[in-house]
Amino acid sequence: MAKKIFFRECGEGPDVVILHGILGCSDMWIPVARKLSERFHVVVPDLPNHGLSEHTGSIRFDNVAEIMIDFLKSKHIEHPHVVAHSYGAKVAFRMLADGFRFEKFVAVDMLPATTYADQQIRQLLHFIAQPLPPLHSFAEAKKHFAEQGIEPRFADLLAKGLAMHNGSPQWKFNAQVIANSSAELMQNIDFEHIENTPLLAIKGENSQYIDNEGISQAKAVFGNMTLAEIPDAGHWVQYDQPELFLNVVYNFLTNNKL
């Protein structure tokens, strides 16, 4: 049965699909979507269990990939360009493993064998499992997050995941399922050699997610892979270096040049 997937879209031209990371949502990618919409038709869904999309009870890569393939096919989108960050990139790798083909693929700080070793992710997963106090505004929410030791940029991320209901905030994402799914997040994506899909792997200079072993394994799968390292950026490359990130992605999708 088809799942309800909320999405945003803009622009005209070849299709570009943007997949956000864990705890994210489509509106975090609006600046990127607007830039790419100068040349492309851009579709930015909320992944299942995130944002305004249906809660399915599972964030397993195989389950989510199947849902996203069905969603794209329902929109008559085949062979799109795909830009995907972190968890969203793992979902995209699984879509490829399941036979769905991309025109070009930008994987942001994530490769098929990458695991979530980052302590900040573990902190966030622990935090969202805790009860929320009464909160009446996003500013109040971000202040509370900061008092709990959450870095400002992650406070912004979490605040976008809140729905306010007269002082009783609720997470838009499926907090309990996500918080209890660390084992699923650690899974690798295994698939056969893919010769014809150009892959741009973007690594944040200060991120530990992509290492030499992961790069070697990815190159064994993708016959057409390019690695771009963004200076002074961590795992959330698009937040740390937004202009540089946009330029690299735009140039790759439009003419294969970085």
Of 160, 179, 198, the residue that ends a domain is 179
Q: How many domains does the chain have?
A: 2
Which CATH number do you get for residue 63? 3.40.50.1820
Each residue's pLDDT, cut to its tens digit, for the chain (258 residues) gives 568 999 999 999 999 999 999 999 999 999 999 999 999 999 999 999 999 999 998 999 999 999 999 999 999 999 999 999 999 999 999 999 999 999 999 999 999 987 665 667 778 888 899 999 999 888 899 899 989 888 887 888 888 889 888 888 999 999 999 988 877 787 888 877 777 899 999 999 999 889 898 899 899 889 899 999 999 999 899 999 999 999 999 999 998 666
Q: Is residue 1 a part of any domain in this protein?
A: no
**Sign for the pseudo-dihedral over CA of 189, 96, 58, 7:** positive
Give dist(CA 198, CA 104) in Å, integer: 5
Give dist(CA 74, CA 88) in Å, integer: 19
Residue 208 CA to its chain's centroid (Å):
17
Q: What is the pTM (predicted TM-score) of this model?
A: 0.93
User: Is 235 within 8 Å of 86 (Cβ atoms)?
Assistant: yes
Q: Is residue 17 a part of any domain in this protein?
A: yes
Supply the range of the domain harboring residue 123: 119-179
Specify whether 142 is located in the same domain as 76. no
Specify whether 69 is located in the same domain as 153. no
